[in-house]
Amino acid sequence: MGKFRDFAEESRDTCWGTHDPGQITESQIALGAVLRIADAVEAMASSYADLERDRDYWRGMYERRNKAVDRVNLSLSAMRGVATKLKKRLTDERRVGYAEGFEDGR
């Protein structure tokens, strides 16, 4: 039994052509075209896998950033609420203090 030859590997490694000084046949042209198409399909598949990986990375980054922004917005909202309460308390204390000071004749 002879050595196994993988046609896909063989087509990549072999310089397809002829040493025949005559013209190239239609079947040889068709074979060359099919091999070029096969190489292009392999390159597209590689590019597609890269695109999928990039898409998944950027989708994950987008989701992580959105969660971080939501946390910051929630924290900011809570801080605004605290500031509003403090302002109201300060205003109420000034009113009470003003009224008390006014009654004391100051």
Closest-CA residue to 52 (of 41, 60, 63): 60
The domain limits of the chain are 24-103
Looking at residue 101, what is its pLDDT? 57
Q: What is the pLDDT of residues 54-81, one digit of tens each?
A: 999 999 999 999 999 999 999 999 999 9
Give me 36's structure tokens.
Answer: 């070029």
Q: What is the pLDDT of residues 10-29, one digit of tens each?
A: 555 556 565 665 666 777 77
pTM for the model stands at 0.46
Complete DSSP assignment for the chain: -PPP--HHHHHHHS------SSPPPHHHHHHHHHHHHHHHHHHHHHHHHHHHHHHHHHHHHHHHHHHHHHHHHHHHHHHHHHHHHHHHHHHHHHHHHHHHHHHTT-
End-to-end CA distance of the chain: 116
Instruction: Say yes or no to pLDDT of 106 above 80.
Output: no
